[in-house]
Structure 1
Amino acid sequence: MPSGSRVRVDYADPAAPVLAVKLQETFGWADAPRVAGGRVPVLLHLLSPAGRPVAVTADLASFWRTGYPQVRAELRGRYPRHPWPEDPTTAEPTRRAAPRRR
């Protein structure tokens, strides 16, 4: 992962490999990754900072355009210490939250 995390791809169904990853760690990606020489798209299970599923997609570009604004609106208030950029395709991927204010 660009954020430094090591995340395993689940090949329980070889026709649809799954990558469960926190949403902030996919910032900067234009498309979902592919395996098998680029022939098989990976199904992304995008997780909240708490590790709960918020979206499932194999078409990340479409998710950024249509689904992300709604997810961002819902989760910004719940997870204010985490980044929620307006344009996630140009944002830096991260697995860290902002430090707490003292």
Structure 2
Amino acid sequence: MIPSLMQFKTICMEETGITEDEIPRPPSGSPPSGPPPDRPEPSQKLKCFLACLLEKGGLINSSGDLQVDKIPIPGVDFTSCKNIEESDKCNKAFLMEKCVRKLLPRP
């Protein structure tokens, strides 16, 4: 997750009703890169928390569409992640985040 998004953590927790215990802890160290690790399907609350963070951070718009030009990672084309068809905004945010992570360069 992009560190600046964490400034919206408290407000997104309030908006989605998610608790601190329901939010997975990222591995310590540098920001995530490469494909996401195998993990169980997140709860709807967690997907909505992610959507809230991404929207407040300007990475998705109010319709849930990815704003590719707002992703501050040079040299990576995230256009393929923009065209995810999903009616549920929370699930769409989850699928886009998963797509973006797959495209991140490995360390």
Tell me the TM-score normalised to structure 1 length.
0.30
Larger Rg: 1
Greater percentage in strand: 1
